[in-house]
Structure 1
Amino acid sequence: MSAEHEPRSGPESALSSDQAIRAMLLLMPRVAARLKRTKLPERLSSFNLAPRHLSLLAYLLFDGPMPVNELAARLEVAPTTVSLMVSDLSRQGVLERHTDPADRRRTIVAITEDEETRSAIDTWLANGANAWRAAFDPLTPEQRAVFVRTIETYEREVSGSAD
């Protein structure tokens, strides 16, 4: 890591709003480019997976099977968009769909039980989780919360749907 990219601490590391904005405007394109270049595990390379599938798979991995409408609400997209993604990933063997026994009109979506595919999904998600752990571990819980809220605010503002 070059000296200009090493984390700094102490009073000299404080940034004005303009300095922070400059730093983020320079950093975010690099981060986005690196994320786009993230390689899929070999087992998943034959599937048509894109970064947009990462959030969908992460919700299912962390929170377990759920209905399409709940996935859509969490992903903040239309249920028809999630239905199309789920149909595509189901055809590819990444996801499984089951009728909800409590309400036969609802479909429950889950990650496949196929061990190889599931392990590859775990690996794909673990790469990002490990990077976040390295970034968050030195921070206090309060600093982590501020960071997450800051990124959420940025995402809302950039999308034009700020409350």
Structure 2
Amino acid sequence: MPATPPVHPVPGDPDDAEGLDDAIRTLLLVMPRAVGRIKRLEIPEALREMALAPRHLSLLSFLLLDGPMTVRELADHLEVAPTTASLLVGELSRKGVLDRREDENDRRRRIVSIPDAARPALEQWLAPGARAWHAALSPLSPTERRAVVQAFTAYEAALPEADGG
């Protein structure tokens, strides 16, 4: 198991030449506040009774941003097993947030989409986060944006699972 980096800067630490520890300190303060604000975003009335959870947000975001796709494509985007994606799709379909229909080109496949009736509430719910990311990323160069996305992806991958693993 790799050593845990220090939370406080070590004076004279050669690895802190670029302010790494100061950046970590700032992020350790900002991230919980940001997550807290995200959790307090008001869920639109039409979605409140559906008990949507964070695990649903990524799936819904992909469909809102990229349009209809197969369960397999959703699984690939979400980096989960097709059976997991299928369970999520089934759950959201029963709640009326998703539609599943046969693929006209291959009847064995199902195309998943957001029904027109659910779209406005989902867009309303996800819009504050999209606006915040737009404000944060738009002043950056494409290289800087890639660095931010890579850093967040690496951060998420480095976090331990809920079971402590």
TM over 0.5, shorter chain? yes
Q: Which runs of 5+ in 1 are unaligned?
A: 1-13
Alignment RMSD: 1.8
Does 1:94 pair with 2:97? yes
Which ranges of structure 2 fall in alignment gaps of 5 or more residues?
1-16
Question: Is the contact between residue 95 and residue 110 of structure 1 (CA under 8 Å) also seen in structure 2?
Answer: yes
C-alpha deviation, 1:129, in angstroms: 0.8
Residue in structure 2 matching 1:58, options 61, 64, 87 = 61
Output the amino acid matched with 1:55.
Answer: S
Amino acid at match of 2:146: A
Q: Work out the CA distance in 1 between the residues paired with 2:72 and 2:139.
A: 37
Is 2:147 the partner of 1:146? Answer: yes
Distance in 2 of aligned mates of 1:42 and 1:15: 47
| 1:1-163 → structure 2 map (5 Å cutoff) | 16-114=19-117, 117-158=118-159
Superposition deviation, residue 159 in structure 1: 5.1
Q: Which residue of 2 aligns with 1:10?
A: none
Give the aligned partner of residue 11 of structure 1: none
Give the aligned residue type for 2:57.
L
Q: Which whole-Å CA distance do the structure 1 matches of 2:76 and 2:39 have between them? A: 25
TM-score by length of 1: 0.81
Taking only the aligned residue pairs, the percentage that are identical comes to 54
Number of residue pairs matched?
145
Indicate conservation of the 8 Å contact 1:36/1:51, yes or no.
Answer: no
What TM-score do you get using the length of structure 2 for normalisation?
0.80
